[in-house]
Chains A and B, each alone.
Chain A
Amino acid sequence: MAADEEALMWVEKYRPKTLDEIVDLRDIVQSLKAFMRNPKTMPHLLLAGIPGTGKTTVALCIARQLFGDNWRTFTLELNASDERGIDTVRERVKDFSRYSRAAFGNVPFALIILDESDQMTGPAQTALRRIMETSSRTSRFILICNQSGKIIEPIQSRCAIFRFSKLDRKAMIDHLCCLAGKEKVTLTPEAAERIVDYAEGDLRHAINALQTAAAYRQGFVDEKIVSQVIGEASPKQVQLMINKALNGDFVEARKMMYELMGAYGFSGSEIVRQMQRELFKLSYITPEEKAELANIIGEYDYRLTQGANTDIQLSALLAQFAKVGVSKGETS
């Protein structure tokens, strides 16, 4: 991975490399710069917020600022959902701490970025806290998560917490237009609006959608192309599947479930996870109904782990949704 190789995925190519380049997170950047003025006093950091709002970007910028061009040597990037368990995390941190030259200029530590740390179980996080303590002489941790509430208190109290919020529409549209300009792509205003609607505050989704749409018809993106691109993406498919089920159309919903498994290779639990996310976003059902449906998902999520056939459990789940959807329709 040559440092000067041009990144071809736009989310990477246009990822800000310095804190100053990050225009939307003024307050966060100010506080961070204050910490970094005297690196010796920099605490562990906890960056929390919904996906696509700049947390990883900030972490990487910090690394660059601390270590310069060779930042990769002094930075360990880990993702909690990819590692098999807390023991592998511990091993990798230990190995890394041992071999990184911790003294680099006046930065007395190496950096460990742990993404999706809220995916770790309670016990795993407790073990993580101990790891953070034992390696605090040589390393600093930047923990990234979506929900800070899922991080145990002992870890939270050892970190400086920064909360990232959803970018506002105008800022996102500006980003997209600017990016489109740099890539010599014609982006209609309606198309930009559509993308931002779809992305729901996640800039990464938005940029990926833009790049894909641009690939469709060499550099021209209008609303029609955006609809097509978004329509083929799995969150949309899952949404449609849920809608059909709630409408009582079991057979069509199940067909879509087969599509998701067949075309995307999603496993049962991956589909269930996506259903949980999309359920949360649905606007046409009441919170009570959402709770009921969430319970149903929970029950079948469990049965998925016990049962022999994924498609049977998912079909049963969709059937329950159909029943709830239709009966609610009758009473409303």
Chain B
Amino acid sequence: MVVLNKKAFRLPRVEREKFILLLRLGLEYNREQGTFCVGNYNNIEKLIDVLSEILNVDKVTFLQTCILCGKDFPCQNCTYQEMCATRNLPFHCVCPQCLKEGKSFQEQL
């Protein structure tokens, strides 16, 4: 199982066709850093399949971004994994620390 950070991750060199496919499926490429990031989520599931194939693993998983503290964290240690429909997808969530510490939204609801 491989865990990627949606904001920046590397991939082994792929052929041009695959590269174009990745871009079409929603990835963006930063030439200077040599890293990819997830630009849009419209084809996220297909994207994960392709990435899993490229990296030769069962399933590629992504870190979550905490909406309260901004840090990235994995789904691995989450208590609610079993009942989560979007587990391991590169979305936003609340990290275990913020949840435990009782932090809450800053913005006006």
Is A–B contact present in the complex under a CB 8 A cutoff?
no
Give A residues with C-beta under 8 Å from B: none
Give B residues with C-beta under 8 Å from A: none
